[in-house]
Amino acid sequence: MASEFDSVIAVNRFGLGALPGELVLAKSDPRGWLAAQVKGNRAQSDAIAKLPTSTEIFKRYVDAQEARRDERAERTQETGAEAVQAQRVVQGIRQVLAPVYLEQVAARYRIAGSTDEPLRERLIHFWTNHFAVSADKVAVIGLAGALENEAIRPHLGSRFVDMLVAVESHPAMILYLDNQQSSGPNSQLARLSSRRQGRGDNEQRKIGINENLAREI
């Protein structure tokens, strides 16, 4: 029979700290209480469902980028201070996407503070940290939270390879690793792009898969 100490360990060491009544729930079978939390997948919570999708977020990014780029061109012609205007473009995009990022963070911690499956939530945080992207990169600001919500949460109870594929093909990871600039081996499209840009085989590194992807995996 499990002791009260076992339930304390289950709730605090494996969970996120005891909510009111949680020690009582875990007391009779702490291991079973933990195991049940990680079996299978779960429907998307209301807190996550209300957030914009990565498709919607990326559209906001592109729209903001184009708007700031046009503004930059006009101001550069007037002042000639191109570096200053480039920085303003980045700051403008951050201002558009920062509220999205903060909304994602708020939803994450609302779930953590109220979930009845704390081990599951803790594992979600673990895998998000493992497959980390940085919101310091302007293209990733709004997508960082979407990576967790769209690639990690839905696959926690699946095979690891399913989560891995979902993470590495998610827009947040692709942009973070600059893999939108990568191409497959012997890609005709890559060779054509290289010729159009005037790149000789010996002038620059050949276009190919970003080696950061292998390190991330």
Query: pLDDT of 118-140, one tens digit each?
Result: 999 999 999 999 999 999 999 99
pLDDT of residue 202: 46
| 159 in the same domain as 104 | yes
Low-confidence ranges of the chain (pLDDT < 50): 200-203
| 61 in the same domain as 23 | no
| 152 in the same domain as 52 | yes
Domain that holds residue 67: 43-176
| 95 in the same domain as 154 | yes
| 21 in the same domain as 94 | no
Token pair, residue 178, equals 């600059």
| 172 in the same domain as 189 | no
- What's the residue count for the chain? 217
pLDDT of residue 53: 96
| 21 in the same domain as 127 | no
CA angle 139, 168, 37 (to 5 degrees): 110
Name the helix (H) or strand (E) containing 14.
none
| 212 in the same domain as 108 | no
pLDDT of residue 181: 75
| 81 in the same domain as 23 | no
| 29 in the same domain as 1 | yes
Structural domain total, the chain = 3
117: region left, alpha or beta (phi > 0 left; psi from -120 to 50 alpha) = beta
**Cβ-contact 85, 79 below 8 angstroms:** yes
Rg for the chain, CA atoms, rounded: 23
| 53 in the same domain as 151 | yes
206-209 contacts at long range (C-beta below 8 A, 24 or more positions apart): 207/181, 207/182, 207/183, 208/182, 208/183, 208/184, 209/179, 209/182, 209/183, 209/184, 209/185
| 115 in the same domain as 23 | no
pLDDT of residue 65: 85
pLDDT of residue 87: 77
**Cβ-contact 89, 66 below 8 angstroms:** no
**How far apart (Å, rounded) are the C-alpha atoms in residues 171 and 155?**
17
Q: Which residue has the tokens 């550069």?
A: 76
Exposure string of 147-186, with b = 16+ CB inside 10 Å and e = fewer, is: bbbbbbbbbbbeeeeebbebbbebbbbbbbbebeebbeee
Which is nearest to 57 in space by CA: 124, 123, 139, 133? 139
